[in-house]
Amino acid sequence: MKSKNHLYAPILFGVVLILAGLAPQILSLVERFSDQAFLAGIIVQLLVYLLPLAFYAQVRSVNLVTTVKMRYVAPARIPFLAVITLLFLVGTMIFRYFGLFVFPSAFVETPSALPLPGGGANPVLTFLCSVLLPALLEEVLFRGILLEEYRPWGAAWAVGVSSLMFAMLHLSAENFLFYLFMGVIFGIITVASDSVLPAIVLHVFVNYSYANIRPSVVEYLRQAGKSPLLPYLLLAVFLLLVVMLFGRLENLYRNKAYDELLKSRKELLRQEVEKVRGLQEEKEEENEKVPHPVLLSLKEIALSPAFLASVVIYICLLLGIFS
């Protein structure tokens, strides 16, 4: 039921947000018992993400393995995923470019949600702790669980709300719009592919590039930013990819609608019988008494006490009130 969804989802996010705010203290506590940074980082991530997810699964009586859609992607969806990935990369460069003018004294940072230590000199441990595991756990939470919790209100609401929560978790006012953009792209990828795996793969690339590629990209943008041609070129490529994206998205949903039409001929016939019997008129009369669906969704999602409590927690953590 919707009422349960809009209650459990923000509560789950609120718990994760509180634990993320306490992550520095948790990390310090764990490091007292272990001098291995790799192990400490693993424990902190499991406490912040996996513990609330396990509690959520127990309360909701769901199996996380089956709820999170870790399935293969149909080949027909790969061109769409390629276009939206390019769109994300170009959009990231646009955020970097304009961020250099807003924050000229330092690199445009995109901090991780948790203060994670690396694996030291071991590149495998560093990759596992700081790249792979954060991407996996964050995508399972936001695109695997929270996005699905809001699906009864439609894909647009699900992507929008889960993206907003994703941006809030990183506790960075300077990069809020970037993380919101990142969450929207990952959400669209998940909805379009009907799988969380593509978002995990792209998230792994983002985490890896943050430490290994980002400094070079930022330095290039600083040098190229002296030319007025670069921002116009980036925006032109971005708009072109947006047009291509909607074209691919239209093809995906047209094919999906055609498949659903073939599978639901019996349901369509039943609806026609209902129309003949006059049931359609009764439904129209009932719909007139129901508030506008957008306003109803806004009230149930954004104005729910649990969601507003999450926003208050986010603001307090951002301002350092609990520090």
- In the numeric block, the tokens 């941006």 are attached to 167
- pLDDT band of residue 137 (cuts 50, 70, 90) is very high
pLDDT at 64 over 50: yes
Distance between CA atoms of residues 169 and 182, nearest Å: 13
Per-residue pLDDT for 92 more than 50? yes
How crowded is residue 234: how many other Cβ atoms within 10 Å of its Cβ?
19
Q: What does the pLDDT average to over 181-199?
A: 93
- Do the Cβ atoms of 176 and 167 come closer than 8 Å? yes
Query: Residue 276: what pLDDT?
Result: 59
Encoding tokens for residue 293? Answer: 């669906």
- Number of domains the chain contains: 1
Does pLDDT of 180 surpass 80?
A: yes
Alpha-carbon gap, residue 130 to 152, rounded angstroms:
34
Domain ranges, residue 24 = 2-319
Q: With bands split at pLDDT 50, 70 and 90, how would you rate the model's confidence at 262?
A: very low
Residue in 213, 23, 229, 180 with CA at minimum distance from that of residue 107: 213
CA distance 304 to 299: 7
**The whole model's pTM is what?**
0.80
**Kindly report the CA angle at 151 between 147 and 152, in degrees rounded to 5?**
150
The CA distance from 205 to 207, in Å, is 5
Distance between CA atoms of 115 and 27, rounded to whole angstroms?
Answer: 8
Tell me 291's DSSP state: P
Residue whose entry in the numeric block shows the structure tokens 């041609």: 229
Q: Which amino acid is residue 317, in one-letter code?
A: L
**Dihedral (C-alpha) 20, 23, 24, 30: value to the nearest 10 degrees?**
-170
Please tell me the distance from the alpha carbon of residue 158 to that of residue 190, in angstroms, as a whole number: 11
Region 81-99: mean pLDDT is: 86
Provide the angle, in degrees to the nearest 10, between the axes of the packed helices 229-263 and 265-276.
70
Chain centroid offset of residue 12 CA: 15
The per-residue pLDDT for 106 is 47
Tens of pLDDT along 271-316?
A: 666 665 665 555 555 555 555 566 656 667 766 777 888 888 888 8
pLDDT score of 258: 47
* Tokens 């399935």 found at: 71
